[in-house]
Structure 1
């Protein structure tokens, strides 16, 4: 299913998105007509629209379009992409009429195995924006998977862990949850867990991850997923601290669309 501003989308309307790759998005898990952290997703869309297009996004309209796309029962992963179909690659400063593309796919209910990730030195352009410009991120994911890992973990130019390709990373230091202090996208799932659990934010050097007790990945599509290894450093796949975070997130009620 794909709709642009609530109507069936045509090829011509998607040309600008395909050829210029300028826009932003958020991905939500809708289950039973509810979304965990809905207000945070909407805030992200509004903030990123101002950053990329210099205009306000009609968030009530976004919510109405989400209700149209949500399944009558069960769960679905819905992506809201905001872009300007009239964008001219030579005059991007004139892009100021953002449209709302809503797509969805069936949500996976199968438990996912722990991730094994390979580190790579990379910082996304404008990491605070959830941009549709995924070329470099997906290239690093591809390289990591060809090397035998499940995904890539980004490390900044100073050797500090920042984020995954499409997820945040957290650790357990033996006492509390530890979130890396580095340039990254503040994920909705991460922020919900920070609200619910005692935690600290501090730089995490890649060279020091072996001293930590557990690692986990978070995003809206999968919730909390254990990380079994970073490069050659292994972690306990079923650590109680990670299980507690997962249980907290799963038990959190969603907000009605």
Structure 2
């Protein structure tokens, strides 16, 4: 079910989103009506709405629409809140906007997911710090990796510096057991931010060669939490490193906020 401003979404509004492909979103894992990092998800929506549309977003209204959408649904859900303007004019995108709130959901996968193997693919997302709906480049990179026999893409930029995955933040564990995040223009992930708050870490430029030589690697996003990366290109990495187990336990222990 897709709900636009708390009511079933009509085909015209969804057609407008599909044809213009201009908007932004956040994706949350809802368990028993609670969300880890809800405050960060709402901050993202407000920040991106100012960037994409130049207006303030009513966050209490957003929460109300999300609560309505999940009411009566048991188990864990992945809820996506998309903000877009059905009346956006392709010829005049700078005109005053009236963004609307679309809420969709699906059953969440059981944790933990199996480790993934990533292939480095040269790609830098448009406006990388905004979680926007323009997913063509990321999905094309993912498709390229999968056609080569991998599960997903790990993006690289200038100087073969790694940045992020198709829909996830990349993290690494160095030889000293320290968590290292790539120093690059990436989407600030909610799961990443929660882990950074709860433990020691550092940020540094990481080349693809250095990434392949790390003690361990992992992916983070709201849908799957902390997921091991068992290989990058032709290099294998240990999926059961103790630091990864500690990261998973730390994340799972975080209390969710009521939606």
TM class, shorter-length:
over 0.9
Alignment of 1:87 with 2:94, yes or no, is no
Give how far 1:110 is off. 4.8
Whole-Å Cα distance in 1 between the matches of residues 79 and 96 of structure 2? 25
| Cα drift, residue 93 of structure 1 | 0.8
1:150 aligns with 2:151: yes
Equivalent residues in 2 for 1:89-168, closer than 5 Å? 89-168=90-169
Alpha-carbon separation, structure 2, partners of 1:167 and 1:95? 32
The secondary structure found in structure 1 opposite 2:202 is strand
Residues 177-217 of structure 1 show CA distances to partners (whole Å, capped at 9, x for unaligned) of 00000010010000000000100011111121233100000
The TM-score, its normalising length taken from structure 1, stands at: 0.98
- Give the CA deviation at 1:95: 5.0
Q: How does 1:20-31 map to 2 (within 5 A)?
A: 20-31=20-31
Query: Which position in structure 2 is the counterpart of 1:43?
Result: 43
Distance 1:189 1:160 in 2: 22
Quote the Cα distance in structure 1 between the aligned partners of 2:143 and 2:221.
Answer: 19
Between the aligned partners of 2:100 and 2:190, the Cα distance in structure 1 is 23
Instruction: Say if 1:122 and 1:157, in contact at 8 Å, map to a contact too.
Output: no
Q: 1:71 to 1:232 in 2, by over 3 A?
A: farther
Distance in 1, Cα, partners of 2:224 & 2:31: 13
- More deviation, 202-211/9-18: 202-211
Q: Structure 2: how far apart are the matches of 1:92 and 1:210?
A: 42
Shift of 1:225: 0.1
Partner of 1:44: helix, strand, or coil? Answer: helix
| Counterpart secondary structure, 2:159 | coil
2:233 corresponds to which of 231, 236, 245: 231
d(CA) in 2 for partners of 1:239, 1:163: 20
- Change in Cα spacing, 1:71 to 1:145, as seen in structure 2 (3 Å) is farther
Question: Residues of 2 paired with 1:157 and 1:15: CA distance?
Answer: 37
How many residue pairs get aligned? The number is: 257
Q: How far 1:71 moved relative to its partner?
A: 4.5
Cross-structure match for 2:10: 10
**Structure 1: any 5+ residue segments left out of the alignment?**
none
Pair 1:254-2:252 in alignment: no
Whether the aligned pair in 1 keeps the contact of 2:173 and 2:216 (CA below 8 Å) is yes
- Counterpart in the other structure of 1:68: 68
Query: 1:86 & 1:134 partners in 2: Cα distance?
Result: 21
Deviates more, 1:7-16 or 1:36-45: 7-16
Cα distance in 2 for residues equivalent to 1:2 and 1:28: 15
